[in-house]
Structure 1
Amino acid sequence: MNLTEALKNQILVADGAIGTILYSEGLDTCPESYNLTHPKKIEHIHRSYIEAGADVIQTNTYGANFEKLQDYHLEHRVKDIHKAAVQIAKRASNKNTYILGTVGGFRNIKKSDLSIESIQYHTEIQIETLINEGVDGILFETYYDLDELLTVLRHTRAKYDIPIIAQLTASNTNYLRNGTLIPEALESLLKAGADVVGLNCHHGPYHMLKTFKHIDIPNHAYLSCYPNASLLDLEENELKYSNNAEYFSDAAKELVNQGVRLIGGCCGTTPEHINKIKQITKNLKPITHKNVVPIKTKQYKKQNKIEPSIKELVTNRPTVIVELDTPKHLDTSQFFEGIQALEDAEVDAVTIADNSLASVRISNIAAASAIKQHYKIRPLVHLACRDRNLIGLQSHLMGLSLLGINDILAITGDPSKVGDFPGASSVFDVNSNGLAEIITQFNQGINADGDTLRSNTNFSVAGAFNPNVRRLEPAVKRLEKKIESGMEYFITQPVYEPEKVKEIYEATKHIDAPIFIGVMPITNYNNALFLHNEVPGIKLSESVLNAFEKVKDDRDATRRLSMSMSKQLIDAIHQYFNGLYLVTPFLKYDMTVELAKYSKSITGTQIKEAIL
């Protein structure tokens, strides 16, 4: 009988971890490569699980997809690794063993930039190879993204008549990371054609049990659960799972009482865990009815916006924002003098970079908080993915919301190696698009693991746009993807040619998102050379460089030239755009104040007037 027929009347025990066993023994490459280099080792692990009582084993192919194998220069061996994995599993098995071909998700906490079409293409290669080699079923496991799992599941079900187990991974006991209730997500997998649905990874038995109390028993399908051994622990600088096989078996009995019929283990589990599960479940019968505990969804009072967003401002009238970087030292007198001068010039917002060029500066959230308390000008805070992991980014967002700072520029950030501390780690758990998606969820009252924030935020998210490239079309395509991720308006790198302004307009006029065009006055000829040759995203024409070279020994002439060129740019910008973004060089705020006043004079607009 096949796997689903067997599950009609009995509890089946699956195997446990392969990867964590190999890592505990010193593995320094991907576990799947061992299918080719150490096949007897993988066969031994399979056989140890079968001898411990596993009825079901899975191929050693969880991370054997094109994208993950690229890290080990093995992307050209995808089919070879899958073929070997099935052959190894067959050698280890007996006539009563079911072999599942394992396929892991591409999108995890660090969301893949691959399109869903590319993911489907690469997944299909894995599935086709596994099925051709003769597996008894397909196991989709550790899928954080419901849409990804639904896509590959539907394609597989449409093409193959084979048992399919579809398992999601959630970092929350009630919700997926997009806020979908787990019972609703499992129901959607059943409708898409899964024979068995369930959860694996991230949680140990305790939290898995909490979740399954909310999950009803399907009418014509079955439930599965592969918990981790425990939470991770740090012991002598080594990450370890608890050796808790006895506790694990007790939890397995409770999972059976919640309707689970296929029980295995994920990270940290061993043959000992599986043996204990087998002993506790071998005399148990599947249950067909249970009392489901409803999930109590938390209600919250929605926060209302108390002021128009910068997007709303620039959509309705000419708007000026000015970047003023915080100091690299603790003398803030000139910085706050600049803030006051910008406020007096009726600038709409001051943007504060987040350790730009990976150089250490005073925290922009601290500076923004001081501005919020003591000045009338609004702060627009840059938030870089470089310096904070997913935990820190979310904590930072909650702190900004608490302070009432709602304007954010989401950026990936310059890598650490370009800055003052090239040996420092760059995090990049997400890029700017991923950060914008998290902020969008925050505005819906949901955090990144799908749990409620008990209130919504009111962030308005800007994105960066670099027009100083050889071809604008690809840059505009990236801008469009940023809009899809939740960015509402854009701020460009500084431009230095009026012709570039028109070029940007023509390339972006189809986009329904305001754009602030950047202008940064040049302070001297050496500054011009530095910007052109060393600062990413900024290029100056030969005519601009030559003009500054001619006056390089005359400070007053250099200033006049810089201000004249900047005003010409502002004239061009206001022909096509409402948004002007002035970058203050070296805290020389007098230059940006003059340019902000010039902008106001030529638009004839009272910058601070309220939107009617």
Structure 2
Amino acid sequence: MEFRKELKQRILIGEGAMGTLLYSRGIDNCYEELNCTEPDQIEAIHRTYLDAGADILQSNTYGANFHKLKRYGLEDQVSQINRQGIAIAKKVAQGKAFVFGTIGASRSIRKSDLSLEEIKRSFREQLYSLLLESPDGLLFETYYDLEELETVLKIARQETDIPIITNVTLHELGNLQNGVQLNEAFKRLEQLGSDVVGLNCRLGPHHMIRALESVQLPSNAALAAYPNASLPEYVDGRLVYDAAPEYFGSSALQLRDQGASIIGGCCGTTPQHITAMKAAVGDLAPIVEKKMPATKVETIEVREQDRTPALYEKAKTERTILVELDPPKKLGIEEFMKGSKALKEAGVDTITLADNSLASPRISNAALGMLIKSQLDLNPLVHITCRDRNLIGLQSHLMGLQTLGLNEVLVITGDPSKIGDFPGATSVYDLSSFDLISLVKQFNEGLSYSGQSLGQKTNFKIAAAFNPNVKYLDRAVQRMEKKIECGAHSFLTQPIYSTSQIEEVYEATKHLETPIFVGIMPLTSTRNAEFIHNEVPGIKLPDHVRRAMAAAGNDPIQAQKEGVAIARELVDAAMDKFKGIYLITPFLRYEMTAELTRYIRTLDQTKTSEVAAYE
């Protein structure tokens, strides 16, 4: 049999699920390892699918790449596991079915976990291992990220001319997660040399049929559909799929009507589902013409921009002062609002609100941000951590902030929960700070994470964190540059306690046009100074600073004065090099940051007067 010829003459039936079938039998470890440890079990499953009517068997190698096998300590067995996977499938097929080598996606929702270079290296190792066993073709499946799929397809096409099936996966109908329409994605994959373009996983038959309704028949490639059995049900701690095989039979005919030439099954499907689909399509040939529905163009509303200049824009040319004031840990906001008012009167440009700093629960910064906006007429900068919300919660939170008009945000990773008041709480980290910056940027383009339209474009101004208190400053600057590529508009630094360090930061970042707000946090006591010096990772106070704080002894008033005096020296150094100043209020002692704000404004006024007098 010749695959490309057969594909034009009849509907080919793909295999059903392997992983969920093993899972239903109580196996919950590395499925790919079974190629070597229990080959008879994998062989039996392939044989059952062949007997059910499958025309294409796919090797049990979906996750058999370096990065996924490393989780099980099997990274040195990539070649063995992949080669054995093909060998088992070929032993079963015996010319009665095509054998395709399966390669699954590496990227999950956290794109930053693996760089493209890491993916390329891992992919090549798996690809070469599969090709050594001479499969009839390759099947790339469950790719949410089109960039990754295009990257690996280019590599594969350079190495082999055997048939390739490329299946993408959708969060929602119509678009991939980067906003590319499904029809456009298929065209791009076809141009890169894919013989078959299609969908697999995530969607059941109903939604997969709907997704294909908007897809034109490719010019040269064929279409494939591998739906899930259904939406899974959670029963007694296990995921259970419960779609009737008969339903899959009727759905196979509808998938064929939408142009699918290959129809198989993904999560939850069994040999019974494959039997039903084979019986339904029989020897039917693929359709050659398809009537497309009228195209509906969705417009994305562009909301009127906030007329208040963005902080990052202002900081390019004017002195801009941000002051962080932590939301209270207890109910009652009178002192917090009093401090916020005092800071405004002192001349701050805005107040920045941490998101449960030090992993300790505080009053919602969005709630306090709205009060500051409505009562003090300041547009606060609201922090968003990756720690406390999963992807669903983050997207909901962003939509809420946009609705409230809180469009100045600082995206940070967030301290791990184990250092806070509830060390047993879960740190989520669905996204890294890079991923979240990219997500906010995508919101500004009017697209959700899934690629669906939000109906409106948001107008978030994205600040990011920069930690200069590291051994290798050049690496920290490289992280800054990566965050700029992701969409960051400005940076707030961790607190700096050395004038020479401010100079070093300036020299290391002066090539960047992105504004930097230099972080300065006044010390409150010698105990506070020693804690920061000895217990806060990465921060070391200069000896003269520690001596000055020690000299203040246990006198809180004198210690506070000394802390402000030290902060003034740092302010002087920062103002000479940077327009942006980021004052961090310690322990809600807003009178200290208010005093420093007035000091900065006075210095600027004095310099302005001196320049005017000189002219």
Give the structure 1 partner of residue 613 of structure 2: none
Give the structure 2 partner of residue 220 of structure 1: 220
Give the structure 2 partner of residue 377 of structure 1: 378
Give the structure 1 partner of residue 553 of structure 2: 552
Give the structure 2 partner of residue 67 of structure 1: 67
Contact 1:343 1:376 in 2 (8 A): no
Contact 1:61 1:103 in 2 (8 A): yes
TM-score, normalisation: structure 2: 0.96
Deviation of residue 536 (structure 1)? 4.1
After TM superposition, the structure 1 stretch with the greater mean CA deviation from structure 2, 533-542 or 234-243, is 533-542
3-state secondary structure, aligned to 1:315: coil
Deviation of residue 12 (structure 1)? 0.6
Deviation of residue 332 (structure 1)? 1.4
3-state secondary structure, aligned to 1:582: strand
Contact 2:223 2:261 in 1 (8 A): yes
Deviation of residue 606 (structure 1)? 12
Counterparts of residues 126-165 of structure 1 (less than 5 Å): 126-165=126-165
Contact 2:8 2:285 in 1 (8 A): no
Counterpart amino acid of 1:473? D
| Cα gap change, 1:193 to 1:354, in 2 (>3 Å) | same
3-state secondary structure, aligned to 2:331: coil
Deviation of residue 248 (structure 1)? 1.5
| Separation of aligned partners in 1, 2:91 and 2:294 | 45
Give the structure 2 partner of residue 20 of structure 1: 20
Q: Deviations over 1:522-575 (max 9, x none)?
A: 111111122223334533233322332232323233222211110000000011
Q: Does 1:498 pair with 2:499? A: yes
Counterparts of residues 133-532 of structure 1 (less than 5 Å): 133-306=133-306, 307-532=308-533
Contact 1:16 1:274 in 2 (8 A): yes
Q: Deviations over 1:416-451 (max 9, x none)?
A: 111111111111111111011111111111111001
Q: Deviations over 1:75-106 (max 9, x none)?
A: 22211211121122122223211111011111
3-state secondary structure, aligned to 2:453: coil
Contact 2:190 2:220 in 1 (8 A): no
Deviation of residue 47 (structure 1)? 1.1
Deviation of residue 297 (structure 1)? 2.8
Contact 1:11 1:261 in 2 (8 A): yes
| Cα gap change, 1:205 to 1:605, in 2 (>3 Å) | farther
Question: Mind listing any 5+ residue stretches in structure 1 that lack a counterpart?
Answer: 608-612
Give the structure 1 partner of residue 7 of structure 2: 7
Deviation of residue 585 (structure 1)? 0.4
Q: Deviations over 1:290-327 (max 9, x none)?
A: 10224423113211212221111111201000000001
Counterpart amino acid of 1:598? Y
Contact 1:253 1:280 in 2 (8 A): yes
Task: Give structure 1 regions of 4+ aligned residues with deviation exceeding 4 angstroms.
Answer: none
Deviation of residue 413 (structure 1)? 1.0
Counterpart amino acid of 1:585? P
Counterpart amino acid of 1:41? Q
Counterpart amino acid of 1:442? F
Contact 1:174 1:295 in 2 (8 A): no
Give the structure 2 partner of residue 113 of structure 1: 113
Contact 1:101 1:137 in 2 (8 A): yes
| Separation of aligned partners in 1, 2:394 and 2:578 | 32
Deviation of residue 134 (structure 1)? 1.5
After TM superposition, the structure 1 stretch with the greater mean CA deviation from structure 2, 185-194 or 529-538, is 529-538
Counterpart amino acid of 2:374? Q
Deviation of residue 236 (structure 1)? 3.1
3-state secondary structure, aligned to 1:239: strand
Percent of pairs identical after alignment?
A: 48
Counterpart amino acid of 2:267? C
| Separation of aligned partners in 1, 2:19 and 2:195 | 26
Question: Mind listing any 5+ residue stretches in structure 2 that lack a counterpart?
Answer: 609-615
Deviation of residue 234 (structure 1)? 2.0
Contact 1:214 1:294 in 2 (8 A): no
Contact 2:253 2:280 in 1 (8 A): yes
Counterpart amino acid of 2:485? E
| Separation of aligned partners in 2, 1:89 and 1:544 | 70
| Separation of aligned partners in 2, 1:75 and 1:294 | 50
After TM superposition, the structure 1 stretch with the greater mean CA deviation from structure 2, 47-56 or 70-79, is 70-79
Give the structure 2 partner of residue 50 of structure 1: 50
3-state secondary structure, aligned to 1:147: helix
Give the structure 2 partner of residue 90 of structure 1: 90
After TM superposition, the structure 1 stretch with the greater mean CA deviation from structure 2, 80-89 or 400-409, is 80-89
3-state secondary structure, aligned to 1:531: helix
After TM superposition, the structure 1 stretch with the greater mean CA deviation from structure 2, 358-367 or 85-94, is 85-94
| Separation of aligned partners in 2, 1:105 and 1:297 | 31
| Separation of aligned partners in 2, 1:501 and 1:420 | 33
| Cα gap change, 1:260 to 1:606, in 2 (>3 Å) | farther
Give the structure 2 partner of residue 124 of structure 1: 124
Give the structure 2 partner of residue 610 of structure 1: none
| Separation of aligned partners in 2, 1:230 and 1:536 | 49
After TM superposition, the structure 1 stretch with the greater mean CA deviation from structure 2, 368-377 or 52-61, is 368-377
| Cα gap change, 1:341 to 1:6, in 2 (>3 Å) | same
Q: Deviations over 1:41-66 (max 9, x none)?
A: 11111111111111101111111122
Q: Deviations over 1:339-398 (max 9, x none)?
A: 111111120111111111111111111111111221122210000111111110010000
| Separation of aligned partners in 1, 2:68 and 2:541 | 39
Counterpart amino acid of 2:217? I
Counterpart amino acid of 2:139? L
Q: Deviations over 1:4-28 (max 9, x none)?
A: 1210101110111111112222223
After TM superposition, the structure 1 stretch with the greater mean CA deviation from structure 2, 109-118 or 48-57, is 109-118
Counterpart amino acid of 2:262? L
| Separation of aligned partners in 2, 1:80 and 1:90 | 15
Give the structure 1 partner of residue 612 of structure 2: none
Deviation of residue 605 (structure 1)? 8.7
Give the structure 2 partner of residue 577 of structure 1: 578
3-state secondary structure, aligned to 1:8: helix
Give the structure 1 partner of residue 599 of structure 2: 598
3-state secondary structure, aligned to 2:41: helix
Deviation of residue 181 (structure 1)? 0.7
| Separation of aligned partners in 2, 1:537 and 1:341 | 32
| Cα gap change, 1:229 to 1:606, in 2 (>3 Å) | farther
Give the structure 2 partner of residue 566 of structure 1: 567
| Separation of aligned partners in 2, 1:60 and 1:184 | 30
Contact 2:300 2:456 in 1 (8 A): yes
| Cα gap change, 1:323 to 1:335, in 2 (>3 Å) | same
| Separation of aligned partners in 2, 1:292 and 1:542 | 75
| Cα gap change, 1:595 to 1:30, in 2 (>3 Å) | same
| Cα gap change, 1:221 to 1:431, in 2 (>3 Å) | same
| Separation of aligned partners in 2, 1:589 and 1:547 | 22
Q: Deviations over 1:148-197 (max 9, x none)?
A: 11111112112211101111111121111111110000000000000011
| Cα gap change, 1:539 to 1:25, in 2 (>3 Å) | farther
Give the structure 1 partner of residue 80 of structure 2: 80
Deviation of residue 144 (structure 1)? 1.0
Contact 1:15 1:54 in 2 (8 A): yes
Counterpart amino acid of 1:309? A
| Separation of aligned partners in 1, 2:96 and 2:89 | 13
Contact 2:493 2:516 in 1 (8 A): yes
